[in-house]
Amino acid sequence: MKKLTQKQQRFVDEYIISGNATQSYLKAGYKVSESVAATNASKMLRNAKVKSELERRMNEIRASKVMTMQQVMERLTKMAYGEIKEEQVTNKGEVVLTKTKNSDQIRAMELIGKRYGAWTDKKEVTGGLEINVGVGDWDADD
């Protein structure tokens, strides 16, 4: 598939920012009236190359907003060690940084432990279980 033209790329950039196809079309540098821009912008959104690029960029944006498991574990570890500072407002309205509360540190350690399978309840079951299911062992009138 060919690359986008410069104007198409600018349209994609503007559309990601505003979500308004008509304004994005005009800001991309197309010199037309607003009514023509609305029609052409609608067509632009159906263009296979533009649609594909928009989808790729939106997926990229969504992926960058989601923490990876590695990032989660690193953050929990910092909390467990008390390295994360929390903002608290004093009676005078001042904002001060305080160490992570012990309860939050313990919770972080619990989550880390759970991730690695610590503290799981294991029950050992021994013996046998016999189940007999017979056809015709019941009476429809019961």
Q: Which domains does the chain have, with CATH numbers?
A: 6-65 (1.10.10.1400), 69-115 (no CATH)
Tell me: the pLDDT tens digits for 36-82? Answer: 999 999 999 999 999 999 999 999 988 888 888 899 999 999 999 99
**pTM here?**
0.51
Residues 27, 6 contacting (CB under 8 angstroms): no
Q: How far apart are CA 104 and CA 61, in angstroms?
A: 30
Structure tokens belonging to residue 68: 């990876």
Alpha-carbon span 51 to 71, nearest angstrom: 31
Q: Are 104 and 79 in contact (CB under 8 A)?
A: yes
Alpha helices per DSSP H over the chain: 6-18, 21-27, 34-46, 48-65, 69-80, 102-115
Higher pLDDT, 119 or 96: 96
